[in-house]
Amino acid sequence: MTSAAAANSPVDGVLATASIVLSLLVAVWALVAAVRHRPPDRVQFIGLGVLEVALLVLSVLALVAVGGGDRPGEPGAFFGYLVTLVCLPPLAWVLARMEPTRWGSAIVCAVCLVAPVVVLRLQQTWEVLGG
Amino acid sequence: MVETRPAGRATNAGPGRLLIAVYLLFAIAATSRAGLQIATKFDEAPVAYLLSGVAALIYIVAAVGLARAGHTGRRVALACCSVELVGVVVVGILSLVDKELFPDETVWSQFGSGYGYIPLVLPVLGLIWLWRTRRSPA
């Protein structure tokens, strides 16, 4: 792809950065809860919900960009990461609901630490050829 | 809702559920990566990609074993964690000694450094957890 495509990466912007920051904030909050022997609280579930909405919007933006003719550098990996990413908050949600102990908070923390990594990989797999 | 606990403590509650969550994450990561590699560029590094596939399979079976709890689940999880530990150590050493053997990264290359060494820690935590939840001798 051209470098112009990379410059207009749909997964590298305010929303992506906000998702990463939000995910890390939820991770820290959940970690504190886990350390204090607290089960997942409303803040964690609301955080997961907002994170999921942000990630879904990010996915729609990416799909719109693809529909508009832009192509990720590594399409297979990109869409793999995209599908994985939007599944992470629901996974944390379900497991946290099943485990109303400190370990539920630990699960939310773990998943919210993985999500930012996946967002970064998403950005890398979009830009790999555009440089 | 009903959980069966025939042998020892359940492996699928408390810290075990966190372990299952991490195993699930690795199952997803390894499966999609291996699937993609095998589907698109298998000829480049068949050994590495087949290994990725095997590792992915083991993560899935380990997660299921821990989640199922019970006697069979424990034995399945025990086998998976053992194979994982041996695999990550052997592949880790081989990938350092002979780089040509694994021209492309696998989950276990360099002791899982590409994944924050979690592939090395995970089976150890799994074995500790299985030991902690074993049936106490009457």
Nearest to A115 by CA among A74, A72, A59, A34: A59
Determine whether the interchain pair B32/A91 forms a contact, defined as Cβ–Cβ distance below 8 Å. Answer: no
DSSP state of A49: H
The confidence score (pLDDT) of residue B137 equals: 52
Q: Dig out the tokens for B82 from the structure.
A: 């053992």
Yes or no, beta carbons of B18 and A107 under 8 Å apart: yes
- What ranges do the domains of chain B cover? 15-133
A55 touches chain B (CB under 8 A): no
Q: Tens digits of per-residue pLDDT, B13-51?
A: 899 999 999 999 999 888 988 898 888 888 888 888 888
- Cβ within 8 Å, pair B17-A77: no
How many residues belong to chain A?
131
Length of chain B (residues): 138
Q: Measured in Å, how far apart are chain A's first and last C-alpha atoms?
A: 9
pLDDT of residue B7: 52
Give pTM, 2 decimals.
0.87
Do A122 and A82 meet the contact criterion of CB atoms below 8 Å apart? yes
Q: Of B17, B25, B36, which is closest to A103 when you measure between CB atoms?
A: B17
Question: CA A59, CA A56: separation in Å to the nearest integer?
Answer: 5
Chain B residue numbers touching A77 (CB-CB < 8 A): 33, 36
Q: What is the ipTM of this complex?
A: 0.84
Q: Which of B17, B31, B133 to mutate to probe the A interface, most A CBs <10 Å? A: B17
Residues of A in contact with B29 (CB under 8 A): 84
- Are A25 and A47 a contacting pair, CB within 8 Å? yes
CA B18 from chain center: how many Å? 14
| Interval A34-87: pLDDT, tens | 999 999 999 999 999 999 999 999 999 999 999 988 888 888 889 989 999 999
From the CB of residue B132, how many other CB atoms can be counted at a distance below 10 Å?
A: 12
HEC profile of B48-102? HHHHHHHHHHHHHHHHHHHHHCHHHHHHHHHHHHHHHHHHHHHHHHHHHHCHHHC
pLDDT in tens, B49-85: 888 899 999 999 999 999 988 889 999 999 999 999 9
pLDDT over 80 at B4, yes or no: no
The answer to whether the beta carbons of residues A126 and A73 sit under 8 Å apart is yes
Mutate: best of B1, B18, B118, partner A, most A CBs <10 A: B18
**What is the pLDDT, as a whole number, of residue A114?**
95
| 3-class secondary structure, A14 | helix
Q: Is the pLDDT of residue B8 over 70?
A: no
DSSP A92-118: HHHHHHH--SHHHHHHHHHHHHHHHHH
Q: Give the amino acid at A87.
A: C
